[in-house]
Each structure stands twice: as C-alpha cells, then as structure tokens.
Amino acid sequence: MTKLLQQAIAQIQQLPAQEQDLIANRLLEELEELADIRAYDAAKQSDDEAIPFEQAIREIENA
C-alpha cells in the first residue's frame, strides 16, 4: 500500500461510520469503473472477432 493511500485511510478512519461508508461506496464505484475501462481496453487490443451486441446478449442468456 502506498503512503498516500495509508494517509487517506487514516483520515477516513477518523470520520463517523456513515461518512466512511459513503467514501467506501464511491471508492468501490471508481474501482468498478476502472475494471470496466481495463476490460474495454483489453477487448480493443484483442484480435478476437467482434460480434453484434444482440448476439452477445443471446449467448450470455443461453450460457
């Protein structure tokens, strides 16, 4: 863990539980967004053939 992250967590620990939860939710949302961006970037760099959106949904629903 970086020193900056340790400092941020130390400050967050001083807040009331409700405020800690608000910050935790925002952080988790940001991490989810980052994961989505990384997955998109990986898909764009892939040599896999693109399929139509509707076909992808059918394949997911039938899995």
Domain boundaries, the chain: 3-61
Q: Is-contact 20 12, C-beta < 8 A?
A: yes
**Whole-number pLDDT of residue 52:** 92
Secondary structure (3-state) at 31: helix
Q: What is the pLDDT of residue 4?
A: 98
Give residue-wise pLDDT tens across range 12-39: 999 999 999 999 999 999 999 999 999 9
